[in-house]
Structure 1
């Protein structure tokens, strides 16, 4: 397995070039980038900007571990507004386009939400309607994913939706495409389940993996803590990943408010991941 770090783990506003340098210095194999509405790597990204990012990665001998985005929180695929759902599909198309250009094999997709407690005023959607709308939206992206050779990775998040590994497995299989799978987040699964069970049930459908840690007793977003400081049974997680022959990226995602956003968190996360993966520290 390869060791990656998500760009959200860095200080807010940090430039991609600086994040790449720090990730390399901290001993990561790759960095997971994010598609944004504006700024660096945005919906309006040009070929020149993409080539500059690729050149920086090449110069640093660092791979791109994945392509995420937070835009699906603003444009949920489950919205009752058809225009918002169409915008979400457009975001997915742009993600796939940029992923192909950057050489990424999987994009992270949040398939909408029934409700989101940590976003004030977010839309609450009937579960049955959410399921139907998410299925329809992802199905629109499948031909683009297959054409680009890039997989759609459905992330398990705190969206009150696709709440069990059995349900997520059914949702993925409904698309009958090897280009639809799971972007499995270990820490997110711990609130109401056991990550190692999710891994065994999802099996080969897992395209990418996020590493986070969580303390159940704390509850809510405050439960997220540094790797190896929470309740995730990482030996069991690693055994489950090896049992399904997973050999792609595991990516640390240390996002606010779970970290103080100092550069040290990048190095701490790298060392913790070395311990989890059984690597020797450099």
Structure 2
């Protein structure tokens, strides 16, 4: 039967779900080790909570020729933990990805809804909003088929009198709520990315936006570098707290704009402290200029250094 966690009037504690679901992959990965040590099931609650950060890059950053399996293998060889793909499927099929996962052991952690900028949930045109809902629904299906558990979504864009901040807020929430039955049935989260779209440019606004949706299948895909233009990244992390399910990793400076990870104004020690305070554990995906294997190697080095990932 479908997996469901209720709706806005449910007694289910959404924040409790958000805090714990981000660590599900870690918990399952520990099961073989626990079994090998013959730890009794009734002693599992004595174990300390696991915190682990996993690395990936956006699919479009992998600028090499080759098959899907070869690209998966390259990322594995460079030290990345898994893959993030796109919807609609572009340059690959579900069978291609299944073969690549079997060959490399690399998981797919999610997909990006690639239609959300031009076909927006916040559009003033009702027929465009309906298309956006359809694309988001398809992204959920694609993600499930590929083995992932989240769809990255930009909820809209403030463009003027016909697409104001209030319009983006109301229209996008209406659209997101239409796909939540599918999200709960498929076990795929809808994660809102903070971008330069004129929407929710303070952490309090983003917090309140997610809280108004009030559903455990919706959370934050927090972009560390995107918010640095508006304020300290660590302040956003502390305000959003366990609403954050995944991280996009980039840097930004007042002088140069977006730059290589570690070369900008992001206070990485404070970012690490704030992530530890909210007990974040999960996927960290680079979203910077990609390139060949050497470029991707440097990105992995920089990302693991600033976040102190083992």
1:89 to 2:126 alignment: no
1:51 is displaced (CA, Å) by: 3.1
1:124 is displaced (CA, Å) by: 6.6
Q: Deviations over 1:138-168 (max 9, x none)?
A: 1112222111111110000110011111111
Paired position in structure 1 for 2:123:
79
Paired position in structure 2 for 1:147:
185
1:123 is displaced (CA, Å) by: 9.9
Paired position in structure 2 for 1:21:
73
Contact persistence 2:268–2:307 (CA under 8 A): no
Task: List aligned pairs for 1:200-279, cutoff 5 A.
Answer: 200-218=238-256, 223-255=257-289, 261-279=291-309
Task: List aligned pairs for 1:1-282, cutoff 5 A.
Answer: 1-11=53-63, 16-36=68-88, 39-41=90-92, 49-115=93-159, 125-218=163-256, 223-255=257-289, 261-279=291-309
Contact persistence 1:213–1:227 (CA under 8 A): yes
Moved more, 139-148 or 14-23: 14-23
When residues 217 and 64 of structure 1 are mapped into structure 2, their CA distance, relative to the original with a 3 A threshold, is same
Q: Distance in 2 between matches of 1:279 and 1:137?
A: 37
Unaligned runs of 5+ in 1: 42-48, 116-121
1:112 is displaced (CA, Å) by: 0.6
User: Normalising to structure 2: TM-score of the pair?
Assistant: 0.78
User: Normalising to structure 1: TM-score of the pair?
Assistant: 0.85
1:31 is displaced (CA, Å) by: 1.4
SS in 2 for 1:184: strand
Contact persistence 1:106–1:208 (CA under 8 A): no
When residues 171 and 14 of structure 1 are mapped into structure 2, their CA distance, relative to the original with a 3 A threshold, is farther
Runs of 4+ in 1 over 4 A off after TM superposition: 12-15
SS in 1 for 2:116: helix
What's the C-alpha RMSD, in Å, of the aligned pairs?
Answer: 2.0
Contact persistence 2:83–2:106 (CA under 8 A): yes
Q: Distance in 1 between matches of 2:176 and 2:229?
A: 26
Unaligned runs of 5+ in 2: 1-52
SS in 2 for 1:68: strand
SS in 2 for 1:72: coil
Q: Distance in 2 between matches of 1:163 and 1:197?
A: 12
Q: Distance in 1 between matches of 2:91 and 2:138?
A: 14
When residues 72 and 14 of structure 1 are mapped into structure 2, their CA distance, relative to the original with a 3 A threshold, is farther
Q: Distance in 2 between matches of 1:174 and 1:29?
A: 33
